[in-house]
């Protein structure tokens, strides 16, 4: 059922988006029109003001289809970042040979050193120093820092409604540095999104190519137990099942301008920065929630849950053509998504429809610019992750017959070839990560130009112009280039390199 209580004719709609001579131009496409008081109320639920074209959907019903009966807890030791997993797909000898000759491109090795030594564009000493500075961050813990709780003051723990608690937590996390938060109940379905194992020390570790599995103290189990408080031991992270728990997903923006400096160490610095900022935000959020008298579990296992799933189910983003990428209405694809768990009562947030996933059905710009061609060109999403290499892949060695365990089932999406993507990123001799899909995404645009808000409004309302906008993004040259590095150093950007007021509507912002 439509949320609208009246209808628009095609002519009236064209007037509304400013595409006829009698329309009101760009302002019409970004100005909300409410048909009655009900719409005015739902447009600003939970105190979170979103662009007018962002429509809320029912809880558990995002713009991708989900079959919970096919969804199982994921073993994060099977991700493509784990060297043992890559050896299953491309053969142990192939992976060992790469490690012996050049190391792993993103994390270490000869390829990066050569690029810096030779002063390769985008990788000179200055560019590399930016990356190294961005990679310094504080560590945290599963149960959070020690703080003085309500009992220290002789007070009961905080007591308010889930709705007010959500507004409170959003305000606090915005203050600490999160751009947005999404909340889901840790119900039986959401429990299937909790990883069963932490990948831990198995990440990019050649030791375990032949010695599998790694010791339980290297990659720990993540378990749900009938206890009141979460805890951690050298062998496991424990989530309590007795209190009602909530998953809080939060967004850490990255510099869109730096991401467009691709390939370069400047791009790497932008990508790495989200992990540094994530630690700051999550440590502060854990302390805040504990000071109210509740528990907050998060830092420690990585990943804890499927981060994009938390964003999509909670409404901060929609899934992209590359199934590993989510797109925010406010900031596009250049966001990092993280999550923690708490027993602070919170109102769940709804998934959204801003036309973003629908746009990806007809746009394949990310696939066009993907160097190894590991993103599908399919016109419709699928339930099944690819079990062999795409025919159009380039520069990737032959794949073995090992089943694809990188991607969890139970969702109908546009699948990318995750093993091949990671091989290109980490084992093909690149001095920096790729990320070309995110750099060149049609929605990787800044927020200052009004035309981008107009386009987003139209995309969120109808799909009839999607092909036009896809072609326009290519025509106007939005995308990535190493040549943008020098100009990046010469510009004055906001703090942290991104628009910190995107989505803000109060305090004169």
How far apart CA 326 and CA 444 sit, in angstroms, is 12
Tell me what pLDDT residue 295 has: 99
CA distances from 9 to 13, 33, 251, 330, 463 (A): 6, 15, 38, 28, 16
**pLDDT tens, 366-425?**
999 999 999 999 999 999 999 999 999 999 999 999 999 998 899 999 999 999 999 999
Alpha-helical regions (H) of 135-255? 162-176, 188-191
Give yes or no for a contact between 127 and 265, defined as CB atoms under 8 angstroms apart.
yes
pLDDT above 70 coverage of the chain, percent: 88
3-state SS record for 325-349: CEEECCCECCEEEEEEEECCCCCCC
| Residue 436 tokens, joined | 């070309």
3-state secondary structure of 194: strand
Query: So what's the pLDDT on residue 144?
Result: 97
Percent of the chain with pLDDT over 90: 73
Which pLDDT tens digit goes with each residue over 148-198?
A: 999 999 999 999 999 999 999 999 999 999 999 999 999 999 999 999 999
pLDDT at 135 over 90: yes
List the single range of 18-32, 77-91, 97-111, 325-339 with lowest mean pLDDT: 18-32
Q: Which stretch, 135-144, 278-287, 437-446, 492-501, has highest mean pLDDT?
A: 278-287
pLDDT value for 41: 38
- Band of pLDDT at residue 105, cut at 50, 70 and 90: low
Q: Is the pLDDT of residue 27 over 50?
A: no
**C-beta separation of 10 from 464 below 8 A:** no
Of the candidate ranges 103-117, 131-145, 220-234, the one whose mean pLDDT is the lowest:
103-117
Q: What is the pLDDT of residue 37?
A: 40
- The pLDDT of 104-110, averaged and rounded, is 60
* Contact in structure between 329 and 355 (CB atoms under 8 Å): no
Token pair 């192939």 is found at 94
Arithmetic mean of pLDDT, 326-338: 96
* 3-state SS, one letter per residue, for 228-287: CCCEECCCEEEEECCCCCEEEEEEEECCHHHHCCCCCHHHHHHHHHHHHHHHHHHHHHHH
Q: What's the rounded mean pLDDT across residues 303-322?
A: 95
- Report the chain's mean pLDDT, rounded to a whole number: 89
Give the pLDDT band (50/70/90) at residue 293.
very high
User: Rounded to an integer, what distance in angstroms lies between the CA atom of residue 343 and that of residue 324?
Assistant: 28
User: How do strand 335-342 and strand 296-297 relate by DSSP bridges?
Assistant: antiparallel
CB-based burial of residue 293 (10 Å sphere; 0-12 exposed, 13-18 middle, 19+ buried)? middle
Check if the beta carbon of residue 66 is closer than 8 Å to that of residue 192.
no
Kindly report the backbone phi and psi dihedral angles of residue 203, in degrees, each rounded to the nearest multiple of 5, phi listed first: -65, 125
List of residues 6+ apart from 187 with CB closer than 8 A: none
Predicted pLDDT at 227:
99
At residue 46 the predicted structure's pLDDT band, cuts being 50, 70 and 90, is low
Q: Is the confidence at residue 349, as pLDDT, over 90?
A: yes
Residue 25 has pLDDT above 50, yes or no: no
Residue 81: name the closest of 111, 113, 108, 104 by CA: 104
The structure tokens 């990428």 sit at 325
455 pLDDT band, cuts 50/70/90, is: confident
Torsions phi, psi for 86 (to 5 deg) = -65, -35
DSSP-derived letter for residue 59 is T
């Amino acid at each position: 059922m439509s949320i609208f209580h009246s209808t628009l004719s095609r002519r009236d709609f064209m007037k509304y988006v400013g595409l006829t001579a009698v329309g009101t131009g760009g302002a019409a496409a970004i100005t909300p029109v409410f048909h009655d008081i009900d719409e005015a109320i739902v447009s600003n639920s939970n105190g979170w003001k979103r662009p007018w074209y962002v429509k809320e959907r029912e809880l558990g019903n995002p713009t991708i289809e989900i079959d919970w009966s096919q969804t199982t807890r994921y073993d994060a030791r099977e991700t493509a970042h784990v060297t043992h997993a890559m050896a299953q797909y491309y053969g142990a000898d192939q992976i060992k040979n790469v490690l012996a000759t050049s190391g792993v491109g993103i994390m270490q090795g000869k390829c990066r050193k050569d690029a810096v030594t030779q002063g390769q564009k985008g990788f000179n000493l200055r560019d590399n120093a930016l990356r190294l500075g961005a990679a310094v961050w504080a560590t945290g813990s599963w149960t959070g820092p020690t703080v003085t709780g309500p009992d220290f003051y002789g007070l009961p723990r905080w007591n308010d409604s889930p709705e007010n608690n959500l507004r409170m937590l959003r305000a606090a996390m915005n203050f600490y540095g999160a751009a947005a938060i999404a909340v889901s109940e840790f119900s039986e379905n959401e429990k299937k999104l909790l990883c069963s194992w932490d990948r831990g020390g198995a990440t990019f570790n050649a030791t375990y190519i032949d010695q599998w599995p790694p010791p339980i103290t290297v990659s720990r189990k993540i378990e749900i137990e009938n206890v009141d408080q979460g805890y951690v031991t050298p062998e496991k992270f424990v989530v309590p099942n007795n209190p009602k728990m909530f998953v809080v997903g939060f967004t850490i923006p990255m510099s869109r301008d730096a991401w467009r400096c691709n390939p370069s160490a400047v791009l790497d610095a932008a990508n790495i920065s989200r992990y540094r900022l994530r630690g700051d935000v999550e440590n502060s959020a854990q302390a805040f929630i504990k000071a109210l008298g509740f528990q907050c579990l998060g830092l420690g296992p990585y990943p804890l849950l499927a981060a994009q799933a938390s964003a999509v189910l909670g409404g901060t983003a929609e899934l992209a053509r590359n199934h590993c990428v989510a797109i925010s209405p406010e900031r596009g694809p250049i966001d990092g998504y993280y999550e923690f768990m708490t027993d602070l009562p919170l109102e769940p947030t709804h998934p959204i429809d801003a036309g973003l996933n629908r746009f990806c059905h007809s746009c394949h710009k990310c696939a066009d610019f993907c160097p190894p061609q590991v993103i599908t060109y399919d016109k419709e999403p699928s339930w099944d992750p690819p079990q062999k290499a795409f025919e159009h892949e380039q520069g990737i060695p032959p794949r073995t017959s090992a089943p694809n365990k990188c991607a969890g089932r139970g969702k109908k999406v546009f699948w990318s070839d995750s093993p091949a993507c990671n091989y290109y990123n980490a084992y093909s001799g690149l001095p920096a990560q790729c990320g070309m899909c995110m750099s060149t995404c049609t929605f990787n645009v800044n927020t200052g130009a009004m035309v981008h808000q107009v386009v987003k409004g139209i995309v969120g309302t109808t799909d009839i112009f999607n092909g036009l906008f896809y072609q326009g993004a290519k025509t106007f040259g939005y995308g990535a280039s190493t040549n943008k590095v020098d100009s990046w150093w010469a510009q004055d950007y906001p703090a942290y390199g991104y628009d910190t007021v995107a989505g803000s509507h109060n305090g004169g912002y």
